[in-house]
Amino acid sequence: MRVIGIDPGLANTGFGIIDFDGKNISLVSYGVIETDSNDSHENRLLSIYTRMRAVIKEFKPDCAEMETLYFARNVTSALAVAEAKGVLTLSLSQDKIPLFMYTPNQIKYAVTGTKNADKETVQNCVRLLLHLKETPKPDHASDALAGAICHINSSS
């Protein structure tokens, strides 16, 4: 099973792709889709969509994971993330890729064993679980990998 985890955002959308053979997980790829804040809002959304379509075409995931949207104090940024999630969901649905959603606490627990883990602990656990020498950077990519690992742990 190939899983793509997605950490949505208007400025930075992280993605992480892992394979699971029934016993072991292994890293396939990870990265970040960045958009230019000087570009128009609609062009930024189009860029996220187009680039995610390219990632999907290249890596052909079987399913996807995305963190559930939680209410933020900054309504403007929460709306931008919701819009990014919309275009990402559309990009997945065009290839009929099932999307699973998990809360931040579910992801933390699946990766670290505790719901109260800080970002650094989650990143370190991602590195250990994927047998990597270094923590995946930037943190958006590491967060996406954590989500993908959460899905593997939740579905196996």
Residues annotated catalytic, as ranges: 7, 67, 140
Structure tokens of 74?
């900054």
Residue 15 near residue 52 (C-beta atoms within 8 A): yes
Q: Which residues contact 116 (CB under 8 A, 6 or more apart)?
A: 108
DSSP state of 2: E
Cα first-last separation, the chain = 11
